[in-house]
Amino acid sequence: MYGCNVKTIKLFCKFIIQFRKRVNKLRSFLVVLTISLISFCAFGQVGINTTTPLSMLDINGNLSVKTVTLTGSATPTLINDGVYISVRPMATDQEFRLPNPASFPGRIYVIRNIQNSITAMITTSGGLLFPKNSTVGSAQIYMFEGNLRTVIVISDGINWTYIN
């Protein structure tokens, strides 16, 4: 062979053997990594400030949500942003409209009428508004001092349920 001696061939063979061992170790590592990633994706639990999440999203700390103030107008004011919504009607029974619950299953809003003497009317683009523990829904609810000043509304994918 062109300038190859027994020593060179032995070194080359040793290199090949070491290379194969490293490839096998890398292959084992990749298998373990793949199984770990599949397990993580299968369980899909995420923890914030915890290393042992017990739910899909486990937050060990405070949670802040987007707050929005909506001022009423001559046409229905759409509720389509934020989580904590302060409604400010400028005239009695001014309409604030929730989105269609079918478009946002599981969506939750906390709504508060911040006017002391003006009633806000909450409606929906689809479905009905059901008070908790009731099978009778309505197309609107009225929010005023002493009656539903603050409500939590939750979409079930068909209707909204409200809790005061």
Give the residue, 63 or 100, on which the prediction is more confident. Answer: 100
Question: DSSP 3-state assignment of 127?
Answer: coil
Average pLDDT over residues 22-51: 74
- CATH number of the structural domain 67-163: 2.60.120
Q: Which helix (H) or strand (E) holds 6?
A: helix 6-43
Is residue 37's pLDDT more than 70? no
Alpha carbons 57 and 156: distance in angstroms, whole number: 20
Average pLDDT over residues 8-17: 75
Check residue 36 and give its pLDDT. 66
Alpha carbons 101 and 9: distance in angstroms, whole number: 75
For the entire predicted model, the pTM comes to: 0.70
Rounded to the nearest angstrom, the gap between the alpha carbon of residue 45 and the centroid of all alpha carbons in its chain is: 13
Residues with Cβ within 8 Å of 94's Cβ and at least 6 positions away in sequence, in order, are: 72, 73, 77, 118, 119, 120, 121
CB 81 within 8 A of CB 109: no
Q: pLDDT-based confidence at 149, cuts 50/70/90?
A: very high
Q: Across the chain, which distance is largest between two alpha carbons, in Å?
A: 101
Residue 21 DSSP symbol: H
Query: pLDDT by residue (tens digit) across 93-114?
Result: 999 999 999 999 999 999 999 9
Alpha carbons 27 and 19: distance in angstroms, whole number: 12
Question: What is the rounded average pLDDT for all residues in the chain?
Answer: 88
Is residue 22's pLDDT more than 90? no
Check residue 1 and give its pLDDT. 47
Q: What are phi and psi of 30, to 5 degrees?
A: -65, -35
For the chain, domain boundaries: 6-59, 67-163
